[in-house]
Amino acid sequence: MFVNKNYRPFEEKVWLAKPFMHGPEQTYMTEAYETNWMTTAGKNIEEVERLTAGKIGVKYCVGLSAGTAALHMALKLAGEAVYGKPKIGFGALFQKKVFCSDCTFDASCNPIVYEGGIPVFIDTEYETWNMDPEALAKAFKLYPEVKIVVIAHLYGTPAKMDEIKAVCDKNGAVMIEDAAESFGAVYRGRQTGSLGMAGCLSANGNKIITGTAGGMLVTNSFEASRKVKKWSTQSREDAPWYQHEELGYNYRMSNVVAGVLRGQFPYLEEHIALKKRIYERYKKGLEGLPVSMNPYDEKNSEPNFWLSCMLIKPEAMCRQVRGERDSCYVPEHGKSCPTEILEAMGFIRAEGRPIWKPMHMQPIYRRNEFIGREGSCLGSSSLDVGMDIFNRGLCLPSHVKMTEEEQNRIIEVIRACFE
């Protein structure tokens, strides 16, 4: 167990990722209050939609209550486009398989189930920690009838989009981007979120910029944006009374939330630059240890560096056992593991997290199929990249206003774990 009195705890906890306000946010929130636009309409929403569409490089944006709501609406759009409009009581993906990223947060795949679909999890690759194009190609050989793929850009790092898109195009499948973690990240000159039939963004409190909550669906289709606006306001028809002819949802963004996000927007690039500086300081500060940082394709992409993560080399892992909710380890000289490092950071009041536990390892989805380069199975396979990254990786404190002094102390504690 890590106990070293030389490493005093921080007086104020150093968080993994937290919001940082600049001032204009209060102005736009106050404007909503003073003009009485305390609702799901108003100038703030209009401006957020305009700014987001312009930044992402698409024609349309719809402000919604969360990134999860955006992904749900994107899946409903894709389901109806591919399979037709469902009967009331049946989702657009009823009993249909959908390929999706495995190493991600469960909000990436839960909306598939909302629409009655069956998530099939595609393994990860080591170069970006995102969906493996080779595993995706294998999945289409097994299930050529699948026509929808959901790709998450993990920790703000773009996936191998050219290769993934080529596999999707070859198989006549549409691609939805879960860009909740990658707002502002660029792949070959284009913003993530602009590369599929629809992109889904998040303004949750821990994201690169925030509205405290909220999300956005972006698309180049006017008809898609029109449908999502209608569905997200309970599918009210154009009638003098409340007329409902299809299922609707209460998913529209609040004008107050939009005020916060509108005030954050001018600082997006500043936040990305600060996050990149944090990533580079970790990379330099951890040199000489048997670890590496979360990778990205330096030639074709520029992440937003939302979270800085590290991966311990296999030969430098001490023994670690994880149960469903607890974990333990055996300390070894010159070695460490995520459990020990997280415990050590917790000792000095610095928040870290394990890498996302892959979806096929989650109790709720263990009976769902998992496909890697070697083929299909339930549970893990001999080549299970996502499970390996989860076992050896962890997320480091990465909030935009973390000081260099705070980061240096965290680096010192990490280094001490390998002594």
Q: What's 24-266's CATH class?
A: alpha beta
Q: What is the mean pLDDT of residues 104-118?
A: 97
Quick: pLDDT tens for 17-69: 999 999 999 999 999 999 999 999 999 999 999 999 999 999 999 999 999 99
Decide which of 3.40.1710.10, 3.30.365.10, 3.90.1150.10, 3.40.50.300 is the CATH code for 268-359+382-417: 3.90.1150.10
* Cβ 362 vs Cβ 21: under 8 Å: no
Residues in the chain: 419
What tokens does 145 get?
Answer: 């009838």
- Give CA angle at 281 (351, 335), nearest 5°: 65
Quick: pLDDT tens for 281-330: 999 999 999 999 999 999 999 999 999 999 999 999 999 999 999 999 99
Question: CATH topology of 24-266 equal to that of 268-359+382-417?
Answer: no
Instruction: Spell out where 147-282 has E strands.
Output: 148-152, 174-178, 186-187, 190-191, 198-202, 215-219
* Cβ 193 vs Cβ 178: under 8 Å: no
Distances (CA, A) of 229 to 58, 83, 102: 16, 21, 29
Query: What is the pTM for the complete model shown?
Result: 0.95
Rg (CA), the chain: 22
- Give CA angle at 374 (371, 375), nearest 5°: 40
Quick: pLDDT tens for 236-270: 999 999 999 999 999 999 999 999 999 999 999 99
Query: Exposed (0-12), middle (13-18) or buried (19+): which is 330, by Cβ within 10 Å?
Result: exposed
Q: What is the mean pLDDT of residues 389-403?
A: 97
List the chain domain ranges: 24-266, 268-359+382-417
**Catalytic (active-site) positions:** 207
